[in-house]
Amino acid sequence: MSVDVLLGLQWGDEGKGKIVDVLTPSYDVVARFQGGPNAGHTIEFDGKKFVLHTIPSGIFNPNTINIIGNGVIIDPVILHRELHRLSEGSAQSGKNLYISRKAHLILPTHRLLDAASEHAKGASKIGSTLKGIGPTYTDKTGRNGLRVGDIAAPNFKKRYSELRNRHLQLIQLFQFDPSGHLIDGLSFEAYETQWLEKAEWLNTMQLVDSEYFINDLIRQGKRILAEGAQGSLLDIDFGSYPFVTSSNTTIAGVCSGLGIAPRQIGKVIGIFKAYCTRVGSGPFATELFDETGEMLRKNGNEFGSTTGRPRRCGWLDIPALNYSIMINGVSELVMMKADVIDELDMIQVATAYRAGQEIIQQIPFDPNAQELIPVYETLPGWKTDVRKAAQQGKLPAEFEAFVHFVEKKTGVPIRLVSTGPDRSQIWKR
């Protein structure tokens, strides 16, 4: 039995949480393989709404095993808060949650370093979620990090203090004054006190050697779904560097973040919105600064699930989508938020870029340095409430034409179309 993968093909927030939740009844296991609490995955059902940051989106199904893999990074304060909130949603206070001992810890000083680094960059800042993602992965690859399994070691406090003090020295180099900086509304000292407490709590959770755990589940024939965070265009290697996150959000991250072999990978489900959004800095060729962009933000409620920041909005970008499909080997697509563009007379889709005198379909080495002017094809809008139409089992011809257009341009079938935030608002093709 193989491991299917669901990952975002744009700049994150495609609706991964919703689709993982929808697909969960078909799987025995859901596993997160990278990222950390920079993610915000929204799930809505029975009139309730939950936003998951670190916990896999299979958590609401009590029969599903949820694994936080070694490639994920964990802030114990955020994880504790998240789990506490979930107990209102039948998530069984973590009974079906397993955490890798090899997952790295986000220290309070990683969060200070993130803020200091962004502050030093000024106008060229990344637009980080300030959850400490970059500094934690830096310590991981620099071989200085602390892992979940280290909490149990007798010298954990000493190792924590050494790393923390080294970070505080680094922060001075940034000429950043941490005293005025709040972490989730708390002073550094108050956050640190909570953090040390919650690290002890984390040590009492179901910790596993997740690479053995997951390979055993594979051997038992369990059906496994790997849940991506962020999006392919934020990948550390393939995104618009340096305006990216610090992990491999693409398919390779599944193997390194869970300890599974490439030949175990089955379906690769790529998820995209019928338009594009991006939160934070970086190039975005099809970004709209007009009333259509405003309409997308308003109708799509495009405000960050983690930070509340307004998301930048624009038209669907086929060359970017095809790039993500290529890197990930996507075998099927899920289209999200089609309902958001219901009212448009005309829908634009970029199918190439103009770069100087040239028409190109590849993303150049440094899209930050070069102006890419989208070349659009225009499709007629459907001017119909697709949510209602999907419930009645008949979607308008213009809608079908839009779906076929994307399938033709990408060469990949669209298996599911989402027409609203609720679990039930899904149309299977």
- Which residues lie near ligand GDP (CB under 6 A)? 8, 12-18, 39-42, 44, 300-301, 305, 336-337, 339-340, 418-421
Residue 299: phi and psi, rounded to 5, are -65, -35
Nearer to ligand GDP, 159 or 388 (CB): 388
Taking CB under 6 A as the criterion, the residue among 89, 127, 381, 396 binding ligand IMO is 127
Radius of gyration of the chain (CA): 21
Compute how many other C-beta atoms are within 10 angstroms of the C-beta atom of residue 26. 9
Between 124 and 193, whose beta carbon lies closer to ligand IMO? 124
CB-nearer residue toward ligand GDP: 50 or 191: 50
Active-site residue, 184 included: no
**Ordered DSSP codes for 111-131:** HHHHHHHHHHHGGG-----SS
Catalytic residue of the set 21, 41, 53, 104: 41
Is position 167 annotated as part of the catalytic site? Answer: no
| Shorter beta-carbon distance to ligand IMO: residue 136 or 348 | 136
Matching residue, tokens 């290529």 = 326
Least Å from the CB of residue 415 to ligand GDP: 14
Q: Does 66 bind Mg ion (CB under 5 A)?
A: no
Q: Structure tokens of 400?
A: 């079908």
Question: Of Mg ion, ligand IMO, ligand GDP, none, which one does residue 167 interact with (CB within 5 to 8 Å by kind)?
Answer: none
Which residues face 375 on adjacent strands? Answer: 352
- Residue 381 CB neighbour total at 10 angstroms: 17
Beta-bridged to residue 183, according to DSSP, are: 186
Q: Which is nearer to Mg ion, 305 or 419 (CB)?
A: 305
CA distances for 355 relative to 289, 362, 375, 392, angstroms: 20, 10, 10, 44
Within 13 Å, how many C-alpha atoms sit on residue 122's CB side?
2
Q: Is 129 in the site for Mg ion (CB under 5 A)?
A: no
Both tokens assigned to 223: 């059906």
Choose the one of ligand GDP, ligand IMO, Mg ion, none that binds residue 342, judging by a C-beta under 5 to 8 angstroms depending on kind: none
Q: Which residue is nearest to ligand IMO (CB)?
A: 280
Number of separate helices (H) and strands (E) present in the chain:
12, 20
Instruction: Give 38 or 351: the residue with its C-beta nearer to ligand IMO.
Output: 38
Candidate segments 212-220, 284-292, 304-312, 341-349, binder of Mg ion by CB under 5 A: 304-312
Give the separation between CA 110 and CA 52, rounded to whole angstroms.
21
Which member of 5, 6, 7, 12 binds ligand IMO (CB under 6 A)?
12
Residue 377 C-beta: closest distance to ligand IMO, Å: 27
Taking the least distance from each CB to ligand GDP, the nearer of 14 and 317 is 14
Structural tokens at position 138: 């830096």
Rounded least distance, CB 209 to ligand GDP, Å: 28
Find out whether 24 and 45 touch, Cβ atoms under 8 Å. no
In sequence order, the β-bridge partners of residue 385 are none
Report if residue 40 touches ligand IMO, rule: CB under 6 A.
Answer: yes
Restricting to residues 28-47, which ones interact with Mg ion according to CB under 5 A? 40
Q: Is 39 in the site for ligand IMO (CB under 6 A)?
A: yes
Using alpha carbons, select from 27, 18, 26, 30 the residue that is nearest to residue 66. 30
Task: Work out whether 13 is an interface residue with ligand IMO (CB under 6 A).
Answer: yes
CA 343/CA 18 separation, integer angstroms: 23
Question: Which residues inside 215-234 make contact with ligand IMO, applying CB under 6 A?
Answer: 229-231, 234
- Distance between CA 8 and CA 334 in Å, rounded? 10
Among 69, 94, 108, 134, binds ligand IMO (CB under 6 A): 134
Calpha distance 30→258 (Å, rounded)? 11
What residues make contact with ligand IMO under the rule CB under 6 A? 8, 11-13, 38-41, 126-129, 131, 133-134, 229-231, 234, 245, 279-280, 305
**Active-site residue numbers?**
13, 41
